[in-house]
Chains A and B, each alone.
Chain A
Amino acid sequence: MKHLLGVEDLSREEMERVLERAESFAEVGRRDIKKVPTLRGRTVVNLFYESSTRTLSSFELASKRLSADVVSVKSAGSSVDKGESLKDTVATLSAYDPAAIVIRSPRAGAARLVAGWTEASVINAGDGKHEHPTQALLDVFTLRQRTDSLEGLDIWIVGDVLHSRVARSCLLAFQKMGAKVTLCGPPTLIPRGIEGLGCRVSYDLDDLAEADVVYALRMQRERMSESFVPSLREYASRYQIDSRRLGPRQLLMHPGPVNRGVELAPEVIDSPQSLITAQVESGLVVRMAILYELLAGTDRSRPDRGPSPADTPTIGQPA
């Protein structure tokens, strides 16, 4: 694996390898000294065109735990705000010879474009409403810690599927791991034709009891003004996951940040069935595993970088 651009490109075997690697990093995380020297002397650039708390911080920490040098560039206050194109920004950052560029962009396909412009490995940390593969991998990892296998599991993804890159990546990842996925939400927020991806679609929660896992999505307030749903109140009355709807044997997930009282009732967020905090913990070790899989063992120096220090004559050395 050179890049991680989307779950779409991943085989089940590649996913398994990342998940196993993440297990071993979970052990490292329980030690007193949580740092390993794997990526010492190598650079990871985080290029974030959208605000992010958990993804950016967990990539920063994951890189540091692997002893890499980290630079994070955010769009606010950078040359991006001065009209520099993505291509030129990538060329500039590539001059630092990074081992990896982690990119989040509001545009679908941004990570794939960047991969064509740099020697570095590219990790998609969210491209528009398209994919968010590291989120999907950490969700699979979190679930496997609870259930061992996703084979045959019934997973419902509930909410604003239309605007969710998490929904798309999770759908693909859960299916690749053998789960059966149902997408549920208001008809205005389920993309036309999505059944073509092999999932089931439901417009109500009537059969939610079938689910082994309920994965709720964030409902953004601006959707009201675009008349996707008439009101948060009506949305919550139809689709909110609360203790009445969530059965005792069902697991609850959410990619965060949660709108308390909208897609989730407060009592289920803090319930024992909730994996929401575990998801954040998994984010760190899974992102360490991804960096490791892409970077460890690859050639650390770029070709034609000029003479290495050993070849450079120094004063006083015989010619």
Chain B
Amino acid sequence: MAKQATLCMRPGPPASLIVRGARVFDPRLDLDAHRDLVVRDGEIAELAEPGAAAEFEGAEMVDGERLMALPAFVDPHVHFRVPGQEHKEDLETGTRSAAAGGYCAVIAMANTEPPIDSAAVLGSVRDRAEREASIPVGFVANVTRGMGGAELTEMAELADSGAIGFSDDGQPIADARVLRRALQYQRLAHRLIALHEEDPDLSSGGVMHEGLVSAALGMAGVPSVSESTMIARDCSLAVFEDTRIHIQHLSARASVEEVSRAKAAGVRITCEVTPHHLTLTDEAVRSLDARFKMNPPLRSEDDRQALIEGLRDGTIDCVATDHAPHAVEEKEVPFEEAAWGVTGLETAFAALHTELVLPGVLPLETLVERMTCGGEPFGIEAPRLEMGAPANVTLIDPELAWTVGEEGYESRSYNNCFGGRDLTGRVLMTVAGGQVAFRQRSFALGVAS
């Protein structure tokens, strides 16, 4: 893996296990077959015919019948709240939540308190990840000091100190001149800039998508053009400075169209979409439940359809959860006052599997590809289920039906927008970076003697 050094995790014993007879599914390798999947000392050692793998001492035995073994997922966009907001999440709970969702690597955003805008802060969170993270975590650093949108951070030093990329996520870079300077500076810092696209003048005061529902509720809207006009601007800047950019959390049809045009014109641009924007619309906000408040907001059904189509045809490169934990008291308030953001690591696969794959809207192989390639723009290769590769595997029961709880998450927070929904497909076990990172409590394992 390129830039493996930029990912941090807690050292632990390497996994050794034999998963008997699981459906091993890796669309990148054209692999879809029942196999004994053998992991030895943290590497994929063998993909044998069912029943053929020889037991060895210390190997955990897993009955893989009815289970799917997938390359584990990579999320380019999570908020782990360290430093400063550990009452919402920390690196231990955040990575446990990610592993419970089938993730083997995540990229944490830098809108913390203080924000990650200096090598000192970056060094401290990386040190903590080396002690607390159960899966590999990459950290972006800020583009601008204090996320103020005015002065650049010491991007070259931050890159040397292990920043995997740069982002002011949570805030747009409103000043085009500042973004232009940052893009120029990439020739020195060599790390991708990920952009939260929002024209703050157009979105000012808005708390939800501007449309029929906001009109009916009397709440100020965030128009979809506040996102798409910024994407158009930044694509032009990227071309002009001949650099790559990554667009975060697309939410609107107009945005998908801008990205599609830019890609066709040869702009080096990648982008992501969240499970909630793919499965929910602003109709959910009629409940005035603050669990449906996030930025960008849930938009119309037409926007949702465009996002699904964009994900299917590759205009949208990957799925990102934008996992944004918040404490109860920040959400148990009127919608307009509530904090922005929803958790999503533990429900991402199940929500998309239930809402898009099972009804035949999105092929399973497309979902798996888009959920595993989120690190690629930042230089983290997608995991592969092939011999000799580091073990990054998630075991899923694709038929297990479960009800998303109001509580009972591995995350410290439970502001999940799928609470109360019946979903099908559940992660039972995750191996990340060669270590067992998660086991569903009810999932019994045998041990070879």
Interface residues in chain A, defined as those with a beta carbon under 8 Å from any beta carbon in chain B: 85-87, 105, 107-110, 112-113, 127-131, 163-165, 168, 191-194, 196-197
B2 within 8 A of A: no
B52 within 8 A of A: no
- The answer to whether B219 and A105 have CB atoms under 8 Å apart is no
B212 proximity list for chain A (CB < 8 A): 193-194, 196-197
User: Chain B: how many interface residues by the 8 Å CB criterion?
Assistant: 19
B211 within 8 A of A: yes
B218 proximity list for chain A (CB < 8 A): 108, 128-131, 163-165, 168, 191
Which residue from chain A places its CB closest to the CB of B213 in the assembled complex?
A: A193
- The answer to whether A128 and B219 have CB atoms under 8 Å apart is yes
A194 CA to B210 CA in the complex, in Å?
Answer: 11
Interface centre among A86, A127, A128 (most CB of B within 10 A): A128
A197 CA to B211 CA in the complex, in Å?
Answer: 12
Interface residues in chain B, defined as those with a beta carbon under 8 Å from any beta carbon in chain A: 210-212, 214-219, 221, 223, 288, 329, 332-337
Interface pairs (10), CB distance under 8 Å: A87-B332, A108-B335, A109-B288, A109-B335, A112-B288, A113-B332, A128-B336, A192-B215, A193-B210, A196-B212
- Could you say which of A87, A130, A164 contacts B217, with CB atoms under 8 Å apart? A130
Which residue from chain B places its CB closest to the CB of A105 in the assembled complex?
A: B334
- Could you say which of B216, B329, B335, B337 contacts A197, with CB atoms under 8 Å apart? B216
A110 CA to B212 CA in the complex, in Å?
Answer: 20
- The answer to whether B214 and A110 have CB atoms under 8 Å apart is no
A87 proximity list for chain B (CB < 8 A): 332-333
A192 proximity list for chain B (CB < 8 A): 210-211, 215, 221, 223
CB distance from A116 to the nearest CB of B (A): 9
The 4 closest A-B pairs by CB, nearest first: A109-B288, A129-B218, A107-B334, A191-B215
Which residue from chain A places its CB closest to the CB of B218 in the assembled complex?
A: A129
B337 proximity list for chain A (CB < 8 A): 107
- The answer to whether B329 and A85 have CB atoms under 8 Å apart is yes
- The answer to whether A108 and B333 have CB atoms under 8 Å apart is no
- The answer to whether A194 and B288 have CB atoms under 8 Å apart is no
CB distance from B282 to the nearest CB of A (A): 10
- The answer to whether A191 and B214 have CB atoms under 8 Å apart is yes
Which residue from chain B places its CB closest to the CB of A172 in the assembled complex?
A: B216
Interface centre among B329, B333, B336 (most CB of A within 10 A): B336
A133 CA to B129 CA in the complex, in Å?
Answer: 53
A130 proximity list for chain B (CB < 8 A): 217-219
Sample of 9 further A-B pairs with CB below 8 A, known A109-B335, A130-B217, A192-B211:
A87-B332, A107-B335, A108-B218, A109-B336, A128-B334, A128-B336, A163-B218, A192-B215, A194-B216
A163 CA to B221 CA in the complex, in Å?
Answer: 12
A168 CA to B335 CA in the complex, in Å?
Answer: 18
Which residue from chain A places its CB closest to the CB of B214 in the assembled complex?
A: A191
- The answer to whether A108 and B334 have CB atoms under 8 Å apart is yes
- The answer to whether A193 and B334 have CB atoms under 8 Å apart is no
- The answer to whether B215 and A194 have CB atoms under 8 Å apart is yes
CB distance from B281 to the nearest CB of A (A): 13
- The answer to whether B219 and A193 have CB atoms under 8 Å apart is no
- The answer to whether B215 and A110 have CB atoms under 8 Å apart is no
CB distance from A145 to the nearest CB of B (A): 28
Interface centre among B210, B214, B219, B288 (most CB of A within 10 A): B288
- Could you say which of B210, B329, B334 contacts A110, with CB atoms under 8 Å apart? B334
With A192-B210, A192-B211, A196-B212 in contact, do A86 and B333 touch (Cβ < 8 Å)? yes
CB distance from A113 to the nearest CB of B (A): 6
A130 CA to B215 CA in the complex, in Å?
Answer: 9
A107 CA to B336 CA in the complex, in Å?
Answer: 6
CB distance from A188 to the nearest CB of B (A): 13
Which residue from chain A places its CB closest to the CB of B334 in the assembled complex?
A: A107
Which residue from chain B places its CB closest to the CB of A131 in the assembled complex?
A: B218
Which residue from chain A places its CB closest to the CB of B336 in the assembled complex?
A: A107
- The answer to whether A196 and B215 have CB atoms under 8 Å apart is yes
CB distance from A161 to the nearest CB of B (A): 9
- Could you say which of B210, B216, B334, B336 contacts A168, with CB atoms under 8 Å apart? B216
A130 CA to B214 CA in the complex, in Å?
Answer: 9
B329 proximity list for chain A (CB < 8 A): 85
Which residue from chain A places its CB closest to the CB of B332 in the assembled complex?
A: A87
A113 CA to B287 CA in the complex, in Å?
Answer: 10
CB distance from A100 to the nearest CB of B (A): 20
B216 proximity list for chain A (CB < 8 A): 168, 194, 196-197
B335 proximity list for chain A (CB < 8 A): 107-109
A108 proximity list for chain B (CB < 8 A): 217-219, 288, 334-336
Which residue from chain A places its CB closest to the CB of B208 in the assembled complex?
A: A108
A165 CA to B219 CA in the complex, in Å?
Answer: 10
A163 CA to B217 CA in the complex, in Å?
Answer: 11
CB distance from A60 to the nearest CB of B (A): 24
Interface centre among B210, B214, B215 (most CB of A within 10 A): B215
A131 CA to B215 CA in the complex, in Å?
Answer: 12
- The answer to whether B333 and A197 have CB atoms under 8 Å apart is no
A85 CA to B216 CA in the complex, in Å?
Answer: 26
A108 CA to B217 CA in the complex, in Å?
Answer: 7
- The answer to whether A113 and B215 have CB atoms under 8 Å apart is no
B211 proximity list for chain A (CB < 8 A): 192-193
Which residue from chain B places its CB closest to the CB of A88 in the assembled complex?
A: B329
A80 CA to B248 CA in the complex, in Å?
Answer: 38
